[in-house]
Amino acid sequence: MTATSALSPRDGGRRIVIIGGVAGGMSAAARARRLDEHAEIVVLEQGAYVSFANCGLPYHLSGEIAGRDALLLHTPASLAASLNLDVRTGHRVTAIDRHAQKVTIATEDHGFSLPYDALVLAPGAVAVRPPIEGLDHPGVHTLRTIPDVDALRERIDELLAARGQHGQAPRAVVIGAGFIGLEAVEALTTRGLQVHLVELADHVLPPLDAELAPLLADELAAHGVDLRLGVSAQAITSVGDLAQSGEDSPAGAVTLTLSDGATLAADLVIVNVGVRPASTLAREAGLELGPTGAIRVDADQHTSDAHIWAVGDAVEVTQAITGARIPVPLAGPANRQGRRAADSICGRRTTAQAAVLGTAIVRVFGLTAATTGANQATLARAGIAHEVVHIHPGHHAGYFPGSEVVHLVASFAPDGTLLGAQGVGRAGVDKRIDTLATAIRAGMGADDLAELELAYAPPYGSAKDPVNMLGFVAQNVLDGSMPQWQAADLDEAMATTLILDVRSRPEFAQGHLPGVLNVPHLELRARLDEVTAAARGRAVSVHCASGVRSYLATRVLLAEGFDARNLSGGWLTLKAVHPNL
């Protein structure tokens, strides 16, 4: 790797060639122009569109973004006019000759080569193709580009028109319950399709901690989505057209066979099981790649070649908490990396690439799910010691109408450093996760969260904001003033301790663990003898609905000499982890 270097001008101005004209590539191009008025900047894009809003595609599919043009942020003509960029669509780069510093380009009808002084690789990612027999069936779609969404909308319109003749709602199967898969499910449901969602993992949105995912599953079910977890699609077979099949199905219908033997009928299928870095060109050019196949870059986005930079979904980044070198396919990092690459090319002091948190968010009908930093599975795999806290506060003051529960989970190192956080709820999730992402970036810990001064009036938050609450709870756990137990440890707690349920009698009657002692928390001080008798010298594992009343009860018990501990997140978290309770 080399240090930042300004390049020598070619014919009075350097030629910067950029491969890929969307998020990272176009950020690099625009920034390079702002820094260097005299450079020749050529953007080569294999597709028909540049600078399109790929993150907006699901919302055009649903119709929420009604006009297709709204997704086309720029055209080659508008980029030439505003930034004097030479943007060429339908130009696919097929090879990089590093020695001669030129790229080979194929268009529909000819090929040519173009020399460069600086080359930026922003080719993005390619969709992973799962091993499913019949994946090439025309009824199988992806959702990555403008032509993809055009094809899907056309098919949906056709199916909805046919609905009049056949009576039933068109049926869709979405394979993969990741961020884009969930957005596709929401879009298809909004359009009136009956949707099945197939996911190989045991919960939706695999990056989310397992105890939050059931909230999304419930939301999907409430909107009529048929969720199949822990299974994969094995084969897609054509049902044949209506005349041939004799069934009440529009032409192009397929049958999916799942790994558990079940079959699903569908009029369209969307496959979204993740992406891998588009690094073939880089590999063929002999650039250094990491073990994940992503292009290796330094803090300036320089590749192993002094004249080539790389950005976006195709490159490796350092994961902030574990230090792992992995690709993180998100728009924010791609855009910032594009800007940084241009700074480096133009000899400007760069802001070295910060380790990436993977902060991400998705809407699933009425719910929002968001994550930042490392989740529990990642921390466990990396062997990083941590304490997990769960809270379920209101998104704003409870006494102000419309308060919604924000389900938050956060992991802290033994020294209090915040390692990761996730949230699910109907309101206020985004600002908490953004605040927590900022806190992780700043190296903050439980004490800092407790002291954060956040904007408050009743319609917006609470005097003790949920972010402060995470800090308070983590302080209590880490300093030993509130020993806790986790829902995952239920079996052990049942076998070796007294479970004390301190919810009210009506709450207890609605559902409780077998053989536990119920003492509503307001009665606890007067009924300590009962607890002593039931505990028979064992520790007491306390719980309530969310962890607040049981915290108060735990403090009472500790003060009276009991070996007591509080269930993190209470019954709400327990039910999420053990849905059959």
Ligand X SMILES: Cc1cc2nc3c(=O)[nH]c(=O)nc-3n(C[C@H](O)[C@H](O)[C@H](O)COP(=O)(O)OP(=O)(O)OC[C@H]3O[C@@H](n4cnc5c(N)ncnc54)[C@H](O)[C@@H]3O)c2cc1C
46 near ligand X, judged by CB under 6 A: yes
CA angle 60, 64, 70 (to 5 degrees): 55
Q: In the bound complex, what is the minimum distance in angstroms from residue 50's beta carbon to ligand X?
A: 7
Q: Which is nearer to ligand X, 124 or 394 (CB)?
A: 124
Site stretch for ligand X (CB under 6 A), options 43-51, 432-440, 507-515, 532-540: 43-51
Q: Which residue's CB atom is positioned nearest to ligand X?
A: 312
**Strand extents, DSSP E, 122-201:** 125-127, 140-141, 171-175, 194-199
Q: Which is nearer to ligand X, 24 or 425 (CB)?
A: 24
- In degrees to the nearest 10, what's the CA dihedral of 129, 63, 72, 354? -60
Site stretch for ligand X (CB under 6 A), options 131-139, 331-339, 429-437, 557-565: 331-339
- Applying CB under 6 A, among 250, 252, 329, 358 the residue interacting with ligand X is 329
Q: What does each C-alpha distance from 484 to 209, 332, 451, 476 come to in angstroms? A: 18, 37, 23, 10
54 near ligand X, judged by CB under 6 A: yes
| Catalytic pick among 53, 55, 114, 306 | 55
Site for ligand X in 260-289 (CB under 6 A): 278, 281
Length of the chain: 581
Measure the CA–CA gap between 147 and 118, rounded to whole angstroms.
31
Binding-site size for ligand X (CB under 6 A) equals: 32
For the four alpha carbons of 169, 175, 181 and 182, in that order, the dihedral sign comes to positive
312 near ligand X, judged by CB under 6 A: yes
79 near ligand X, judged by CB under 6 A: no
Site stretch for ligand X (CB under 6 A), options 122-130, 169-177, 219-227, 544-552: 122-130
Q: In the bound complex, what is the minimum distance in angstroms from residue 556's beta carbon to ligand X?
A: 46
Q: Six-digit token pair at 19?
A: 């491969």
Measure the CA–CA gap between 30 and 51, rounded to whole angstroms.
11
Neighbours of 414 (CB within 10 A): 10
178 near ligand X, judged by CB under 6 A: no
Q: Six-digit token pair at 309?
A: 């930079």
Q: In the bound complex, what is the minimum distance in angstroms from residue 338's beta carbon to ligand X?
A: 7
Site stretch for ligand X (CB under 6 A), options 46-54, 112-120, 344-352, 363-371: 46-54
Q: In the bound complex, what is the minimum distance in angstroms from residue 470's beta carbon to ligand X?
A: 24
Q: In this structure, which amino acid lies at residue 548?
A: V
Measure the CA–CA gap between 174 and 393, rounded to whole angstroms.
33
Site stretch for ligand X (CB under 6 A), options 18-26, 155-163, 166-174, 214-222: 18-26
Site stretch for ligand X (CB under 6 A), options 117-125, 156-164, 196-204, 562-570: 117-125
- Judge whether 544 counts as a catalytic residue: no
Measure the CA–CA gap between 271 and 278, rounded to whole angstroms.
18
Binding letters toward ligand X, positions 86-115, x by CB under 6 A: ------xx----------------------
List the strands of the sheet with 140-141, edge to edge: 140-141, 268-271, 171-175, 194-199, 226-229
368 near ligand X, judged by CB under 6 A: no
Measure the CA–CA gap between 120 and 446, rounded to whole angstroms.
41
Q: Which is nearer to ligand X, 273 or 278 (CB)?
A: 278
Q: What does each C-alpha distance from 530 to 36, 88, 541 come to in angstroms? A: 79, 79, 15
CB 207 within 8 A of CB 199: no
326 near ligand X, judged by CB under 6 A: no
- Applying CB under 6 A, among 330, 439, 440, 498 the residue interacting with ligand X is 330
- Applying CB under 6 A, among 16, 17, 18, 25 the residue interacting with ligand X is 25
Q: In the bound complex, what is the minimum distance in angstroms from residue 126's beta carbon to ligand X?
A: 8
| Chain centre to alpha carbon of residue 32 | 30
Site for ligand X in 138-177 (CB under 6 A): 143-144
Q: In the bound complex, what is the minimum distance in angstroms from residue 344's beta carbon to ligand X?
A: 16
Going by C-alpha positions, the residue among 219, 171, 213 that lies closest to residue 195 is 171
Neighbours of 190 (CB within 10 A): 17
Q: Six-digit token pair at 359?
A: 């902060």
> Which helix (DSSP H) or strand (DSSP E) does residue 103 occupy?
strand 102-106
- Applying CB under 6 A, among 7, 16, 18, 22 the residue interacting with ligand X is 22
24 near ligand X, judged by CB under 6 A: yes
Q: Which residues are catalytic?
A: 55
Give the interface with ligand X as residue ranges (CB under 6 A). 19-20, 22-25, 44-47, 54-55, 57-58, 92-93, 122-124, 143-144, 180, 278, 281, 312-314, 329-332, 334
